[in-house]
Amino acid sequence: MNWIKKTLKIGEKIKTLLKKRPTKDEIKNSEWISCCKGPVLKKDMENNLWVCPSCNKHHRISCKQRFDIIFGKNNYEILKTPTPQDDPLQWKDTKSYKDRLKDARIKTGMDCGIMVVNSKIDNINVTAAASDFAFIGGSVRAAEGDALLTGIQHAIDNQHPFINFTSGGGMRMFESLISLSQMTRVTLAINELKNNNLPYLVVMCDPCAGGITGSYAMIGDIHFAEPGALVAFAGARVIQGTVKEELPEGFQKSEYVQKTGFIDAIVERKELKEKINSILSILLKKNSDISSIPDETSEDVRTITKAAS
């Protein structure tokens, strides 16, 4: 066989390989999902809360899947959030921003990348927000900022703690400064939450990066993170290029970030609900040990003191 025939044969092989690759739709509609040891049945993965039984990888999940796990299936009320104008800068690159938004809405069934709900963890009323990475990488624009503000205002109005399951690549640069200003808006809103003495819990989910880590994901009263979640501001390659040093193993993984003091605890997905519940019980003094300590100004103590005198 001469070299021309050999090259043609290799070309044919490559063509067949490329042809055999499944399309995005085929992957989405398949009953299988891929992880470390090859395909795993989606049903098995779902029963394990979308955590790989072999390598413990916490797969990315949608907002509804997240809330179903924490609050119970459909056991929450989805709050309506504002819909600001799409594409204020008339952005277009390889594809128009309007088309990207349209595709993301079809793919996720959401108007924006953040969903806000009102629900309960055991007997504690909470307001919670979660991001969907499938909605343009979980990036934040005016709509996502407004969604968070709606959630925080709801928490203040109802005196609820606010739980934020943060994830996403950062601010959405298709909206330039409008996106960047969401960091300040949400930070100011969280300050209001704190002025009202309401707990603000952050659960960092994979990936949590850019302006999200640079603002509202890092100012919680308590910071939880899922195992192996990427928690970063700038990308590792950018940092390595700047400092010109080899970065340590596991750099920017939640376990590493915990060692640097930015994360309080790494919590497995199956234990999140219980951990959130117990920390809220302590912060809201609903824990039986804590609530048994008498408050000097409480009605009961005043009655007892009066009776004793």
Write down the least CB distance from residue 32 to Zn ion, Å: 13
- Assess 34 for contact with Zn ion (CB under 5 A): no
Which range touches Zn ion (CB under 5 A), out of 49-57, 121-129, 146-154, 237-245?
49-57
- Assess 57 for contact with Zn ion (CB under 5 A): yes
When the beta carbons of 35 and 124 are compared against Zn ion, the nearer one is 35
Write down the least CB distance from residue 17 to Zn ion, Å: 24
CA dihedral 13, 14, 19, 25 (to 10 degrees): 140
- Assess 219 for contact with Zn ion (CB under 5 A): no
Taking CB under 5 A as the criterion, the residue among 52, 147, 193, 232 binding Zn ion is: 52
Write down the least CB distance from residue 33 to Zn ion, Å: 10
Q: Is 58 helix (H, G, I), strand (E, B) or coil?
A: strand
Strand arrangement, sheet containing 265-266: 76-78, 114-121, 124-131, 162-168, 200-208, 222-225, 265-266
Phi, psi of 205 (to 5 degrees): -115, 160
- Strand duo 200-208 + 162-168: pairing: parallel
* Residue at token pair 């204020």: 88
Write down the least CB distance from residue 57 to Zn ion, Å: 5
Which range touches Zn ion (CB under 5 A), out of 15-23, 31-39, 245-253, 296-304?
31-39
Residue nearest to Zn ion (CB): 52
Contact 162, 199 (CB under 8 A): yes
Phi, psi of 282 (to 5 degrees): -70, -50
Q: Is 288 helix (H, G, I), strand (E, B) or coil?
A: helix
Contact 152, 202 (CB under 8 A): no
Which range touches Zn ion (CB under 5 A), out of 14-22, 57-65, 181-189, 204-212?
57-65
Taking CB under 5 A as the criterion, the residue among 35, 78, 219, 266 binding Zn ion is: 35
Write down the least CB distance from residue 107 to Zn ion, Å: 24
Helices (H), the chain: 3-20, 24-29, 42-47, 63-71, 97-108, 142-158, 176-195, 210-213, 236-243, 254-259, 272-283, 288-291, 299-308
- Assess 55 for contact with Zn ion (CB under 5 A): yes
When the beta carbons of 84 and 228 are compared against Zn ion, the nearer one is 228
Write down the least CB distance from residue 56 to Zn ion, Å: 7
Taking CB under 5 A as the criterion, the residue among 8, 10, 27, 36 binding Zn ion is: 36
When the beta carbons of 205 and 280 are compared against Zn ion, the nearer one is 205
Q: Which residues lie near Zn ion (CB under 5 A)?
A: 35-36, 52, 54-55, 57
